[in-house]
Structure 1
């Protein structure tokens, strides 16, 4: 029963067994008048531990009382979002709700989540296959993977993804995302992956921020390479940027955000019976992300809270933390190319 369980859960199970043994010894002594000393010896537990457990003057320690409060918050949050959060986000969420107490560390949350068998329920997706199209007009990659932004409406990126549910038509989601705070400034949902979908998302973003002139980054889908759409961006005073062919990492934040939203939707709204319900579940998931999903990069604030602070003039500098594993990977690729070039020259 203990094999394969996390160490914190193993410790909790052992403790529960010990408490049940204490209770069993107590019941047998009351009902059958069996000797406590003998039963403690059979159960291989200290007699002093048994008496201490049933000491009427014994009180819970401050840590035990605090753990109970934290545990109640963890269980309530997990029930409210169907165990959407892992340890990191659960820690931020609990700290938001218990801000009047001293900070709660992730090891405490991890321990209590293990004890209660709570873990993140995010599913994994297979990447959909898309048909290649011939672009009408392309532009260079001006973003160049500089995903940090110093203020709102400085850099926008966009993409289209399909959201699927068993037995229902696909829903296509087009989102315009601000790279400063990962805030969706505009999005649209449709049964068709067409120009009207992109136009609707773009117009929603412009209506929300009519004076914005950001760098507008996308892939080379036909919806973004059309001359009318490019002219529209120029009229708005936007500079267009496009990912290179076959380099989805050039639009990495957008790709990651879409995957996050689809994972969250399945956990928060797993049962949808119609296309309208699927559409509604996407909207509710985006709203949950904006208002209730704490971000480590923003020190526990949500994307919506970051946006509200920025609109008040309180611009916060929250650069993306470096990923040393990816940096090492690209360094190895670079060194390999140099070696191959030297071999060719020699």
Structure 2
């Protein structure tokens, strides 16, 4: 541009002094700008790898725990805001549908989602997926609050008792521990006499969410939300 138009004319159009222009072209890039450039590269890799699902909080956690970088969360927010990188917005969950249970249990878990170790507190649920061919698929899983792992899961084309029963049998084979607290909602599979007898025979303690209180099973709902938002809806 400066080879086509005189510098003095460009400065006059932009309403800046010539001294400011020459000061700018001679300036050295400060260290913090070089650091920001490198950090933007790290953030872009993490953001892209997550399929644009990570917000600044999860990017910050990844940088600190995985990349072992000492960085402030406000800095991560500022850089992502500059690049207009925002996480995918999650869909609102469906409201709970009431049913008439055969057998119920108290909310023993009572939102105490922390556990000292594995095989102490398990949570379970079933979620639905709508397929592109018009059919539906159902995923049943059991999540261990102590280890933070899915210890069993079963996929089927019907939301029925065998789906839930097979999930429990698969999980029960992973441990000999007894008195494990198994928390669920009040779906018909979990309130059935057959399932409650299975728990009793295996030495498990049944706990159930209150009616219309999905947050009572918050960790399991969180697992579904992450799976659907980051792996299913994007594809």
1:81 aligned onto 2:47: no
> Secondary structure of 2:183's match?
strand
Distance (whole Å) between structure 2 residues aligned to residue 98 and residue 147 of structure 1: 28
> Secondary structure of 1:75's match?
helix
State the 1:178 CA deviation.
1.9
State the 1:206 CA deviation.
1.9
Task: String of CA shifts for 1:38-59, please: whole Å, max 9, x gaps.
Answer: 421221123233213322xx43
CA change 1:265–1:235 in 2 (3 A) is same
Judge conservation of contact 2:152–2:168 (CA < 8 Å) in 1.
yes
CA change 1:232–1:97 in 2 (3 A) is closer
> Secondary structure of 1:241's match?
strand
Aligned residues: CA RMSD: 2.3
Distance (whole Å) between structure 2 residues aligned to residue 95 and residue 139 of structure 1: 41
1:192 aligned onto 2:165: no
1:203 aligned onto 2:169: yes
Judge conservation of contact 1:161–1:174 (CA < 8 Å) in 2.
yes
> Secondary structure of 1:201's match?
helix
Which structure has the higher relative contact order (CA within 8 Å, separation 6+)? 2
Distance (whole Å) between structure 1 residues aligned to residue 144 and residue 17 of structure 2: 62
Distance (whole Å) between structure 1 residues aligned to residue 138 and residue 36 of structure 2: 44
Report the TM-score, using the length of structure 1 for normalisation.
0.61
Segments of 5+ residues of structure 1 without an aligned counterpart are 1-26, 272-346
State the 1:212 CA deviation.
5.2
Pairing partner for 1:245 from 211, 220, 228? 211
Distance (whole Å) between structure 2 residues aligned to residue 168 and residue 81 of structure 1: 28
State the 1:167 CA deviation.
4.4
Instruction: Tell me the residue number matched to 2:85.
Output: 118
State the 1:224 CA deviation.
1.2
> Per residue, is there more strand in 1 or in 2?
2
1:180-329 equivalence runs, <5 A? 180-211=146-177, 213-266=179-232, 270-271=234-235
1:31 aligned onto 2:4: yes
> Secondary structure of 1:153's match?
coil
Task: String of CA shifts for 1:121-162, please: whole Å, max 9, x gaps.
Answer: 1331451674x5432222222223322222222111111111
Pairing partner for 2:105 from 130, 135, 139? 139
> Secondary structure of 2:173's match?
helix
Judge conservation of contact 2:185–2:209 (CA < 8 Å) in 1.
yes
Instruction: Tell me the residue number matched to 1:52.
Output: 23
CA change 1:115–1:228 in 2 (3 A) is same
Judge conservation of contact 2:123–2:217 (CA < 8 Å) in 1.
yes
> Per residue, is there more helix in 1 or in 2?
1
Report the TM-score, using the length of structure 2 for normalisation.
0.87
Segments of 5+ residues of structure 2 without an aligned counterpart are none
Q: How many residues are aligned here?
A: 235
> Secondary structure of 1:208's match?
coil
CA change 1:54–1:144 in 2 (3 A) is closer
Instruction: Tell me the residue number matched to 2:14.
Output: 43
Judge conservation of contact 1:122–1:264 (CA < 8 Å) in 2.
no
Distance (whole Å) between structure 1 residues aligned to residue 79 and residue 54 of structure 2: 14
Distance (whole Å) between structure 2 residues aligned to residue 66 and residue 73 of structure 1: 11
1:106 aligned onto 2:73: yes
Moved over 6 A (4+): none
> Secondary structure of 2:142's match?
strand
CA change 1:134–1:148 in 2 (3 A) is same
State the 1:110 CA deviation.
1.3
Pairing partner for 1:148 from 114, 128, 146? 114
Instruction: Tell me the residue number matched to 1:8.
Output: none
State the 1:109 CA deviation.
1.2
